[in-house]
Amino acid sequence: DGGITQSPKYLFRKEGQNVTLSCEQNLNHDAMYWYRQDPGQGLRLIYYSQIVNDFQKGDIAEGYSVSREKKESFPLTVTSAQKNPTAFYLCASSTSQNRGSDYGYTFGSGTRLTVV
């Protein structure tokens, strides 16, 4: 079955350490996205990528970095510069060009990051 996989589901990090969240999709989607969810704040866009080797900052990119070396993979690194990294992180993918019946995001199941 096609889908989008995020790992791990729960992650603990010490302050001052970088950590990388994995996101893999086998949907052949061109575009991939990283969102952050905090209580009462909805989904805020961190980074997105429409094609391999290209990505754009979202609304809250500071303290994060990404790479898009393969179509299937879009890992997110939470760096020590991110002041408040504890959150629920969601990865999504979509067909970026075609507005057919399947247009929209497919989300992963999320990663809960806790800084200790």
Give the span between the Cα atoms of 111 and 10, in whole angstroms.
6
- For another protein, the binding residue among 33, 55, 64, 74 (CB under 8 A) is 33
The neighbour count for residue 59, using CB atoms within 10 Å, is: 11
Q: Is residue 108 within the footprint of another protein (CB under 8 A)? A: yes
Smaller CB distance to another protein: residue 17 or 57?
57
Q: Is residue 6 within the footprint of another protein (CB under 8 A)? A: yes
Residues numbered 45-84 forming contacts with another protein, rule: CB under 8 A: 45, 48, 50, 56, 58
